[in-house]
Amino acid sequence: MPEDRDLASIAEARDLARRAATAQAWLERLSQKMIDGIVAAMAAAAAENSRNLARMAWEETGFGNPNDKHIKNAIAFRDVYDHIKDMRTVGVLSRDEERKVIEIAAPMGVVAAIIPSTNPTSTAIYKLLICIKARNAVVVSPHPAAQGCIAETVRVMSEAGRAAGLPDDAILCMENVTLDGTRELMQFESVAVVIATGGMALVKAAYSSGKPAFGVGPGNVPAYVHASAGIAKAARDILAGKCFDNGTICASEQAVVVDHEAATPLRDEMGRNGAYFLSEGEAKAVAGVLVGADLHVNPKLVGKPAEEIAGAAGVEVPPGTRCLIAKLEVVGPSEPLSIEKLSPVLAWYEVSDWQEGCERCKEILRFGGMGHTLAIHCNDEEIITAFGLEKPASRICVNAPASHGAVGYSTSLPPSFTLGCGAGGNNITSDNITPLHLIDIKRIAYETREVIPTWVEAADTAGGENMESLPPPSSSDRAVLEKLVDEFLTQRNVCNIQPQPTTDEPIAAEQPPAPEADKEEKDTTATAPPAPAAPLPPPPKPVDFVSEWEVRQALRNGESILIHDKTIITPLARELGERESVFVRS
């Protein structure tokens, strides 16, 4: 019965989480050298078994193709491993002698790793490597549609790890998988953090688990082509990204947005590279079989070749067709093919210029791809920068396939199969997730500024015993004090104050007033009144925003920066300004 299966799955989740917690106590005692040796052995085992795992994933899910799945595995066991192999994740990470701060790595604890069916073996390889590199035990919850290939990946890598010194039960995998069991795993007390890759319902469950979570859902990735682009390369890149493993990577292109000026040559180039442009009627037929009334992709056509999708829609296409393209006018629920399609099917939009293209790309991202990825094909740096400033996307791949660029295969982004979408995508980070996201950093901070308690200051002011222990002011201190007093008096027009006599001689008696005649005579010979004092300069105004550049300018000029309670200060500016005592609060 389904109810019995759910109960068994929940019980298994609890048992695996407890066993992983026991292993965690041993795992976190390992040295950096031991961890690095274990991770190297796991990566080598994944490489040795990659082609077999790729074929298993294709046969079990029916998504994509074995060759591209092997390439995705290689991104994990080769590129991810190369990126993390020398990364320090144990003990002291850094010492800042100037700030007197020492940073120390601490593992987070047991990780619940949720693996999708679209990229099953590659995501499993990647997550196992980054979890163990950070000294975190891991319990894998595989997608039921890819349970066999994921379980085999876990077996291969855990056996290699244990042979190199990994504690037993540091890597475990659920066998009786249900949604209730996966929820229990994410919420269970022994689990410290969740990494969830999959549909939006799963990602929301991860963020509702009450645990720190890295969740990545769908992407609706636009690829903008400007008139300045290399059209032939742009066509090849867009199709390479879209057709890679039949479009099952969440960062793959979903729509082409092209300037009118470049539309015809781009269309011709894409046709020469295997794209088929659907008529209006053919596009409706494809939408009818590919996208349901609830705007979800038909799971039977996810990751299928373009010719198979066309055949299901009754559309005849030339042999060798790699991608279906539908020209659209709107983005939204009224146009089913404007969603993420998880297959080699593209939407096509033509725009008058880059400003209109910018707005169209925003529409696409807001319709299911907020914070994820965008590709731009352009050779105008100002427009590239404008897109970077304007778009709600965490990764903007320039003159590269979006799917390959976003995961760090054709760019220098950190190689990763968990791509954060930031707050716009309801994610905790916009980063490509690495082992550094799975460690806590402890900081040892030495005193750099002595705190004088208020009662000590009060005693000093009152002339208490503490005053005697203070050193006498130096000549330089006295000069600074005198200058400050002079400036204070000048600002208040208190000038030409004569000092009182300090000798013991008697002060002369006050003289009686002079007669009126003498006074008049004296007035006629009186000197002219002094000229009025020059007006004081207006007081400085507090600033509303401070960057690191303004702080460094103030330090160079020996100046202070006047701020108020609502002044916005960038993190680097605050750190430098407070350390150098640059800020003065109004």
- Tell me which residues are annotated as active site: 250
Which among 151, 130, 138, 150 has a CA at the least distance from the CA of 111? Answer: 138
CB-based contact 253:344 (threshold 8 Å): no
Q: What is the DSSP string of 340-366?
A: --SSSEEEEEEESSHHHHHHHHHHHHH
DSSP letter at 130? H
Give the span between the Cα atoms of 291 and 340, in whole angstroms: 10
| Cα 433–chain centre separation | 8
Query: Which sign, positive or negative, has the C-alpha torsion 134, 138, 144, 149?
Result: positive
Q: For residue 130, what are its two tokens?
A: 């980054």
Give the span between the Cα atoms of 535 and 427, in whole angstroms: 56
CA dihedral 479, 483, 485, 490 (to 10 degrees): 160
Q: For residue 40, what are its two tokens?
A: 């190297």
CB-based contact 81:162 (threshold 8 Å): no
Q: 381-390 and 354-366 helices cross at what angle (nearest 10)? A: 30
CB-based contact 280:273 (threshold 8 Å): no
Q: For residue 433, what are its two tokens?
A: 């997730």
Instruction: Assign 222 to helix, strand or coil.
Output: strand
Q: 32-48 and 147-163 helices cross at what angle (nearest 10)? A: 140
HSE (side-chain half, CA atoms, 13 Å) at 121: 38
Alpha-carbon Rg for the chain in angstroms: 35
Compute how many other C-beta atoms are within 10 angstroms of the C-beta atom of residue 508.
Answer: 6
Q: For residue 348, what are its two tokens?
A: 């096509």
Instruction: Give the C-alpha distances (Å, rounded to integers) separating 190 from 151, 171, 210, 483.
Output: 22, 14, 12, 65
Give the span between the Cα atoms of 381 and 385, in whole angstroms: 6
Give the span between the Cα atoms of 402 and 393, in whole angstroms: 12
CB-based contact 301:334 (threshold 8 Å): no
Strands 213-216 and 191-197: parallel
Give the span between the Cα atoms of 361 and 96, in whole angstroms: 43
Alpha helices in 62-119 (DSSP H): 66-74, 81-84
Q: For residue 116, what are its two tokens?
A: 């999708």
DSSP letter at 29? T
**What phi and psi values does residue 425 have, to the nearest 5 degrees?**
-100, 20
> What b/e sequence results for 215-245 when a residue is b if at least 16 CB atoms lie within 10 Å of its CB, and e otherwise?
bbbbbbbbbbbbbbbebeebbbbbbbbbbbb
